[in-house]
Structure 1
Amino acid sequence: MSAVIPPDVEITDQARTPVEDPTLGITVTVENGATPPPHRLVTIGDSLTHGMRSGAVYQTELSAPAIVAYELGWLDQFRFPTYGGPGGLPLNIELFLRELQDRYGDKVDWWELPLALFTARQWMDGGEDYWERGPGSAVPTTTSIPHNLAMYGWDLRDALSQTAGRMLSRLRSPSDALINQRIENDSERAALRIYPTQPVSGRDRTVFDLAAELGKDGDRHGIETLVVFLGANNALGAVTDLKVVWSGDGYRDLDRKGEYTVWRPTHFVEELAEVALRVRGIRAQHVIWCTVPHVTIAPICRGTGGKIEPGSRYFPYYTRPWISDRDFDPGRDPHITADEARAVDSAIDQYNDAITDVVRDARNGGEDWYLLDLAGVLDRAASRRYMDDVTARPDWWRPYPMPAPLATLNPPYTSEFLTADGNGGRATGGLFSLDGVHPTATGAGILAQEIVQVMRRAGVQFRTPNGAPRSEPVGVDFTRLLRRDTLVTRPPQNINSALSVFGWADETLDLIRTAVPF
């Protein structure tokens, strides 16, 4: 049965028209001095800017903010958290599947499942030992403030209220579980690499407090560009949990809000007002606000069956990508309905209208704030929703122009779930990593490219690593990212077209439902 839609959710037939002008047509006097502020880039966000890929924060030098810092010629000064161990935190699906592939080949046959399960337990136990009892268990003793202040799983309230002190208070002595080998307190362990833990007296600071301290450096602005990308986790639970639970009275409570998977628009707007107030207290020359992508496009939930009617963007049901249309049973398999998906998307449109209003009010007040409509970017790249269905495209829709190194890939680089061709290459997908939510390295490059374009609109000077100004057009080096993007260039071959490995892993290990955070 579908969840009752709250009265403040305004259901719409078509997706919100994207905003293409980051200035909203409002002119603001911009003062770009010869010498930029000391902190050229600071980001406050969630997993999409933290650097999560395939279920783990790992190789965070390939996060979208780090890619922007590289293009600024400032990566050597850009501070960001790093995560070592066997694949980062908490569970690296790519490395996990490569381990299975090394032992059992491109396909795990049914008679190999018991041994594969044993191998998986051993592999997961290695990560658990590293983070709970090994080198990763030590609380960092850092004093410097990172420039990338993003944390996976965080929504607006987390960014407003979480502190290092609270993270430390929630750490507990781990148990070496025989069956459930998820890394305990993975979120707290990851967050303690974002917050400075020294001095002890500073452990009550939020990420907004930390950004404000960076903003105090310099004469007028300590930060040149501040990027705010929050809000996806106020709706993402609807597709990761395949359950729509609208926010209630406890939405502001850190200990209660986990009951909800989608925030009512009125609740989101109230939280957003607090975020905007905190951002206004940060001395940043330019501020870029990102809109919330429609979470129902992420391939972690796959529309099954044909569209509900000609011209619709919705399928009757949304379920896990490894459940085929033939095998799907709404009485047995987890899912949300077309009406629920439409309600979630409509709520996100209201979130994004509210974010747009925040930027508009700021620009009308003379502040150099910009809107980066990433919801529109992802809508324009949505394969099954729009690319494959001409009748579902709204009047404003046109395909997203992929950067040349990605546009020439064969097979095409799409938003579908990533699969392998059985011959060492990729069969489908490319934009999303193996958790079906977070981007690949090249997908993070697309986000970075959009940020770069808005920064150039703001007059930010990009330089080469040796300090020389870069010539126009300034773009992300996607050839460099392709060399690092192992999922796009050589994905694990045990992800076949039926995604049976993922279905097996989810059923036997709770891999997606419990081990992978979003």
Structure 2
Amino acid sequence: MSIKLFTIGDSVAQGFMSGAAARTDLSFSTLLARKLNLTDYQYPIWEAGGLPLNMEDVLRALNKRYGSNISGLEWLTFLPTVNKVIDTSEEYYERGPGRANLPYPGKVNYFHNVAARGFDVTDSWKVTPEVAWNNIQNAVPQKGDDQFLAVADASLYRTALKVLSPALTRTATGAFKQNFSQLDWLKYHSQKEGVENVCLWLGGNNALGTIVDLQIRQTPGDKSPITKTHNEKVANRWNLWHPTDFAVEYEEMLQRVHTIMSNQSEQTDWKVFLGNVPLVTIAPLAKGVGPTTHIPGKGTYYKYYTYVPFDEDFAVKTGRHLNLQQVLHIDDCIREYNIIINRLVTQFNQLAGGKPRYFVVDIASALENMAWKRNDAQPTYEFPEYFKFVYPKVDTKYYHADKEGQLKQGGIFSLDGVHPSAIGQGLVATEFIKVMRAAGLNQLTPFTDQEWSQIFKSDTLYSRPISLMGEIYEHTDLAEFLVKAIRFLHR
């Protein structure tokens, strides 16, 4: 029997939330699998809070110990409390049951969701278990200030290794028996059983680093990045792809996917659903400060964009910001990415003989329409009916709860300000359902009120708000912890 759903992607498809790859069970593709009644849909479970650093676990530990306010001498015990939580994950994934040289429990040979945090377009075929393993072995131990947050080293590769090779099976010579990239796994399943529906969502990490780093390091625009190995690419530290480079890489990925999918049995009626690239500058991690400017056709922008706990004075004094011109450039690049994706979908549908095989899920427009600040507090997105009278309301602002534990704003993004919360994942799933249903998957009906109620309950940031959030804005120590945690998003 053919596989009904296979997922390829990055951190969002993996269920990365609040700084850790921890909740694949709440990711949009898992919600889709449940809708399709796929009881055999396999995905990884991330114990001990996940990798690299679960900010929700840290803040809940602080909340439990200090309540809604850390005062006076209690700040002397703040760092030990933080590190105690972090040490649990570091111990589990470096030396404990989750360490790199131990197979995933339960004799699992593969997952139906092979999404991995930090992956960009070319990683879908360039990162293999061998690449991940070698990077783990060659990782440089953390030194100096990084030891403040002693997360497991090479955590990105530890995550990738578990996803791509849960069994860790090796040949007699020590090589990985199935040294499969994401696309290799797609080929394996297409040849073995056939794959009917693929959710493929990559491209966000070709721009996301700009708001994590608050810097732009753009590729040269000469089509050369695709010729680099994964490690050579990483060494260049690019965080924004020139549209020319993006086009070459995305077309190569689709060509590989098309070759794999079109070589299946004629009885397999296959489809590929492509999430496009959201405007990363909308993510609440990047807080707009200073005077605003309305750009016709693009929305409202700010003079500076800095990390969410801080203000304009911090942005100017420290230099940790992107200016208006830089943010417009990032957004223009991403808009061009999505034009490229649309063009390539048309091209590959023609190559498929005119029968639609490729479908764009326009997450970019959905998120842009949801954006609170970009739309001057008047988002135009049509939320599901359940959202109309739910209280507290949710929006795209950075998460905040008061000292009484009442949600005051946010709810769509998790604590890292980049990745969707469980509720946000439900909205992503909604956008996929719209397109997949129109493509003929009638079993994928919109979420009922009861299903939305379950999604809201599963979102612990919403159902059990963290009353300590105000401390992030009032105390430098906690704000700096947030910024340091953000630095690990791409490690």
Q: Equivalents in 2 of 1:128, 1:268: separation in Å? A: 35
Counterpart mapping for 1:214-363 below 5 A: 214-218=189-193, 222-248=194-220, 250=225, 252-258=228-234, 259-283=237-261, 285-308=270-293, 313-325=300-312, 327-363=313-349
Compared with structure 1, are the counterparts of its residues 509 and 429 closer, same or farther at alpha carbon in structure 2 (3 Å cutoff)? closer
Residue-pair matches, total: 459
Tell me if the contact between 1:300 and 1:435 (Cα under 8 Å) persists in the aligned partners. Answer: yes
Q: Equivalents in 2 of 1:414, 1:121: separation in Å? A: 31
Unaligned runs of 5+ in 1: 1-36, 390-397, 464-471
1:119 to 78, 81, 84: 81
Counterpart mapping for 1:61-140 below 5 A: 61-74=25-38, 76-85=39-48, 87-109=49-71, 111-137=73-99, 138-140=101-103
Compared with structure 1, are the counterparts of its residues 308 and 212 closer, same or farther at alpha carbon in structure 2 (3 Å cutoff)? same
1:494 to 456, 468, 471: 468
One-letter code aligned to 2:249: E
Q: Which residue of 1 aligns with 2:264?
A: none
Query: Is 2:440 the partner of 1:459?
Result: yes
One-letter code aligned to 1:344: I
Q: Per-residue CA shift, 1:340-367, capped at 9, x if unaligned?
A: 0000000001100111011111223324
Compared with structure 1, are the counterparts of its residues 347 and 444 closer, same or farther at alpha carbon in structure 2 (3 Å cutoff)? same
Tell me if the contact between 1:452 and 1:475 (Cα under 8 Å) persists in the aligned partners. Answer: no
Tell me if the contact between 2:136 and 2:157 (Cα under 8 Å) persists in the aligned partners. Answer: yes
Tell me if the contact between 1:55 and 1:517 (Cα under 8 Å) persists in the aligned partners. Answer: no
- Aligned to 1:282, what secondary structure does the other structure show? helix
Higher mean Cα deviation, 410-419 or 169-178?
Answer: 169-178
Tell me if the contact between 1:381 and 1:387 (Cα under 8 Å) persists in the aligned partners. Answer: no
Q: Which residue of 2 aligns with 1:193?
A: 162
Q: Equivalents in 2 of 1:90, 1:43: separation in Å? A: 22
Q: Equivalents in 2 of 1:494, 1:517: separation in Å? A: 26
Q: Equivalents in 1 of 2:424, 2:56: separation in Å? A: 16
1:52 to 12, 16, 19: 16
1:161 to 126, 131, 136: 126
Q: Per-residue CA shift, 1:182-221, capped at 9, x if unaligned?
A: 2112112111221133254534321101011111234xxx
1:275 CA drift (Å):
0.4
Tell me if the contact between 1:62 and 1:444 (Cα under 8 Å) persists in the aligned partners. Answer: yes
1:406 CA drift (Å):
2.8
Q: Which residue of 2 aligns with 1:379?
A: 368
Structure 1 vs Structure 2 CA RMSD: 2.4
TM-score normalised by length of structure 2:
0.87
2:187 to 188, 203, 212: 212
TM-score normalised by length of structure 1:
0.83
1:295 CA drift (Å):
0.3
Q: Equivalents in 2 of 1:417, 1:375: separation in Å? A: 19
Higher mean Cα deviation, 175-184 or 302-311?
Answer: 175-184
Tell me if the contact between 2:9 and 2:201 (Cα under 8 Å) persists in the aligned partners. Answer: yes
One-letter code aligned to 2:279: H
Query: Is 2:111 the partner of 1:146?
Result: yes
Q: Per-residue CA shift, 1:31-87, capped at 9, x if unaligned?
A: xxxxxx62111111000101101011113211111011111111x2111111112x1
1:413 to 389, 394, 409: 394
Q: Equivalents in 2 of 1:475, 1:42: separation in Å? A: 24
Query: Is 2:15 the partner of 1:41?
Result: no
Q: Which residue of 2 aligns with 1:10?
A: none
One-letter code aligned to 1:205: F
Q: Which residue of 2 aligns with 1:181?
A: 150
Q: Which residue of 2 aligns with 1:400?
A: 381
1:305 CA drift (Å):
1.7
One-letter code aligned to 1:157: T
Compared with structure 1, are the counterparts of its residues 152 and 500 closer, same or farther at alpha carbon in structure 2 (3 Å cutoff)? farther
Q: Equivalents in 2 of 1:485, 1:352: separation in Å? A: 30
Q: Equivalents in 2 of 1:337, 1:430: separation in Å? A: 27
Q: Equivalents in 2 of 1:323, 1:193: separation in Å? A: 36
Tell me if the contact between 2:225 and 2:245 (Cα under 8 Å) persists in the aligned partners. Answer: no
Q: Equivalents in 2 of 1:71, 1:458: separation in Å? A: 16
1:488 CA drift (Å):
1.5
Tell me if the contact between 2:307 and 2:483 (Cα under 8 Å) persists in the aligned partners. Answer: no
Which structure exhibits the higher relative contact order, with contacts defined as CA atoms closer than 8 Å and separated by 6 or more residues? 1
Higher mean Cα deviation, 482-491 or 169-178?
Answer: 169-178
Q: Equivalents in 2 of 1:131, 1:331: separation in Å? A: 38
Tell me if the contact between 2:271 and 2:357 (Cα under 8 Å) persists in the aligned partners. Answer: yes
Q: Per-residue CA shift, 1:69-121, capped at 9, x if unaligned?
A: 111111x2111111112x11111101110000111111223532221112112
1:179 CA drift (Å):
4.2
Tell me if the contact between 2:473 and 2:479 (Cα under 8 Å) persists in the aligned partners. Answer: no
Which structure dedicates a bigger proportion of its chain to helix? 2
- Aligned to 1:40, what secondary structure does the other structure show? coil
Compared with structure 1, are the counterparts of its residues 349 and 168 closer, same or farther at alpha carbon in structure 2 (3 Å cutoff)? same
Compared with structure 1, are the counterparts of its residues 242 and 205 closer, same or farther at alpha carbon in structure 2 (3 Å cutoff)? same
Unaligned runs of 5+ in 2: 262-268
Q: Per-residue CA shift, 1:294-326, capped at 9, x if unaligned?
A: 00000010100231358652100000110134x
1:240 CA drift (Å):
0.8
